[in-house]
């Protein structure tokens, strides 16, 4: 019953997280686009009133007129009816942490720990999981202070620190969990940029405006820098959110390099779109992103030689059946016996010859090629067993 309830909590937290993330990222992408589309105000009186840019647009059967005031209107009080874009960010992070707790902390033995990487107790693994988030934030803040006036150097330093962090996480947790933790670090940095820098800066400027003072532009400038960082984090973190479905990315020995390349590709693509908003088409950026993705695919490609046809019947079903029963069917059966599972992951059933044959290609990809399964190798599947299973599948996956 506990596993059943955890699965429902997993589903609901994931749904909420996805919905909140769409809201947050959607508003972020929109406002970056809007900022880059603003034009000088057409009316002199608008400029005199503090309008720094404006945009006319059409959507949903109506026309919209956006005007941006850097420090509020000059000839009238700033309205009290302000919408603050913050709960989209906060709810995304809170639901993400709920998902982390339900999946990776409550199921630490299954999803977080890979004893072939590091033999941890669940309590130690959870403690390290939390510590990585704290360390990630501290390093990011230190880099922001050290390179405050050098945005390009700061961007490079943040990327390098993420790559080093990814490498380190691959030496702490299972590969899938390592990917997730990189995303959690980025997400935590993003939400703290909102809560710790952007919103407080806006509140400070607002208080000065309402007091009739000339607002200090520095909090707004700092907030703008952090907002730009969040923009470039967007595509990498979105990839990480879906990555657990693709062991071809994280399953090999160089999964951390693959993630480093794909994060770079995401940032390059995001920069391309930001420039395109300003009518600047930098063709080299998507080409560089495509090259990074191609290199990632090459690095992640399996290095085993393909099976040759006509070289014998291969192993029999009787030889591989005990391997599947002991290493795979504990989770992938109608009634799983592995603690923490009340249903077969992703509905894949391997508890009969027919079901195993039907899923043979998927088994080959995840248990033999990428070795992403069993999860965290919790059932201690050996290299010889993987090779035997792969040879049976290559020979036609013949039943008993």
Q: Evaluate if residue 296 carries a pLDDT over 60.
A: yes
CA dihedral 294, 298, 300, 304 (to 10 degrees): 160
Residues 280 and 139 in one domain: yes
255 plus 368 within the same structural domain:
no
Q: Is 65 part of any domain?
A: no
Q: How many degrees, rounded to 5, is the angle at CA 110 between CA 106 and CA 112?
A: 75
Q: Which domain holds residue 241?
A: 2-31+87-300
3-class secondary-structure state, position 76? coil
pLDDT digits (tens, 9 = 90+) for 5-41: 888 888 899 999 999 999 999 999 999 899 989 999 9
Task: Note whether 322 and 209 are same-domain residues.
Answer: no
Co-location of 252 and 128 in the same domain: yes
Residue 105 placed within a domain:
yes
Q: Report the alpha-carbon distance of residue 272 to residue 288 in Å, rounded.
A: 11
Residue 225: which of 178, 273, 155, 287 has the closest Cα? Answer: 155
Q: Do 255 and 368 share a structural domain?
A: no
| Residue 130 pLDDT level (bands cut at 50, 70, 90) | very high
Q: Which residues pair with 283 in a beta bridge?
A: none
Q: Are residues 151 and 110 in the same domain?
A: yes
Instruction: Judge whether 50 lies within some domain.
Output: no
Which pLDDT does position 383 carry in this prediction?
Answer: 85
Is residue 295 domain-shared with residue 322, that is, in the same domain? no
- The mean per-residue pLDDT over the stretch 33-55 comes to 93
DSSP 156-186: HHHHHHHHHHHHHHTTTS-HHHHHHHHHHHH
Confidence of residue 351 (pLDDT cuts 50, 70, 90): confident
pLDDT reported for residue 346: 74
Number of domains in the chain: 2
Q: Rounded to 5 degrees, what angle do the CA atoms 134, 135, 138 make?
A: 90
Query: What pLDDT score was predicted for residue 312?
Result: 56
- Does residue 79 fall inside a structural domain? no
| pTM assigned to the model | 0.84
> Looking at 267, 300, 333, which one is the last position of a domain?
300
CB 390 within 8 A of CB 368: yes
* 211-230 pLDDT, tens digit each: 888 888 888 888 888 999 99
C-alpha to C-alpha distance for 299 and 204, rounded to whole angstroms: 48
Q: Of the candidates 230, 265, 300, which is a domain's last residue?
A: 300
Please tell me which of 133-142, 336-345, 374-383 the model is most confident about, judged by mean pLDDT.
133-142
Residues 279 and 352 in one domain: no
347 and 265 inside one domain: no
In the predicted model, what is the mean pLDDT of residues 123-139?
Answer: 97
pLDDT band for 1, please (50, 70, 90 cuts). low
Is residue 286 located within the same domain as residue 338?
A: no
Residue 60: inside a domain = no
162 lies in some domain: yes
- pLDDT band of 313, cuts 50, 70, 90: low
Same domain, 285 and 360: no
Question: How wide is the angle at C-alpha 163 spanned by C-alphas 301 and 160, nearest 5°?
Answer: 135
Residue 73 inside a domain? The answer is no
Which segments of 278-359 does DSSP mark as H helices, in order? 284-300, 317-327, 353-358
For residue 65, list its beta bridge partners. Answer: 56
* Spatial CA neighbour of 113 closest among 182, 174, 179: 174
**77 is written with which tokens?**
């009080």
Q: What mean pLDDT is reported for the chain? A: 90
Q: Which pLDDT does position 348 carry in this prediction?
A: 86
**Residues 219, 336 share a domain:** no
In a domain, 273, yes or no: yes
């Amino acid at each position: 019953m506990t596993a059943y309830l955890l699965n429902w909590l997993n589903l609901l937290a994931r749904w909420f997280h996805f919905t909140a993330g769409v809201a947050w990222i959607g508003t972020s992408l929109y406002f970056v686009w809007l900022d880059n589309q603003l034009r000088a105000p057409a009316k002199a009186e608008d400029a005199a009133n503090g309008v720094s840019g404006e945009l006319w647009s059409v959507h949903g059967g109506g026309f919209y007129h956006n005007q941006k005031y850097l420090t509020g209107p000059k000839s009238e009080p700033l309205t009290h009816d302000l919408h603050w874009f913050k709960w989209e960010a906060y709810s995304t992070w809170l639901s993400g942490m709920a998902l982390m707790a339900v999946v990776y902390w409550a199921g630490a033995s299954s999803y977080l720990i890979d004893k072939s990487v590091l033999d941890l107790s669940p309590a130690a693994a959870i403690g390290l999981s939390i510590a990585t988030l704290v360390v990630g934030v501290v390093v990011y803040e230190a880099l922001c202070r050290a390179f405050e006036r050098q945005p390009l150097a700061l961007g490079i330093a943040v990327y390098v620190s993420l790559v080093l962090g990814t490498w380190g996480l691959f030496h702490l947790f299972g590969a899938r969990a390592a990917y997730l933790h990189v995303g959690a670090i980025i997400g935590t940095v993003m939400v703290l940029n909102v809560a710790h820098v952007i919103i407080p800066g806006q509140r400070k400027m607002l208080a000065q405006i309402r007091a009739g003072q000339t607002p200090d532009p520095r909090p707004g400038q700092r907030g703008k820098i952090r907002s730009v960082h969040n923009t470039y984090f967007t595509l990498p973190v979105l990839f990480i959110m879906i990555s657990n479905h693709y062991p071809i990315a994280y399953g090999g020995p160089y999964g951390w390099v693959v993630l480093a390349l794909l994060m770079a590709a995401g940032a390059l693509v995001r920069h391309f779109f930001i420039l395109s908003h300003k009518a600047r088409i930098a063709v080299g950026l998507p080409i560089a992103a495509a090259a990074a993705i191609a290199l990632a695919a090459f690095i992640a490609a399996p290095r085993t030689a393909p099976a040759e046809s006509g070289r014998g019947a291969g192993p029999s079903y009787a030889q591989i059946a005990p391997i599947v029963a002991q290493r795979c069917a504990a989770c992938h059966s109608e009634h799983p016996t592995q603690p923490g599972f009340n249903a077969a992951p992703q509905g894949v059933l391997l508890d009969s010859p027919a079901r195993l044959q039907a899923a043979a290609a998927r088994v080959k990809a995840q248990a033999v090629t990428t070795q992403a399964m069993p999860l965290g190798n919790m059932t201690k599947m050996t290299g010889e067993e993987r090779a035997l299973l792969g040879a049976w599948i290559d020979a036609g996956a013949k039943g008993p």
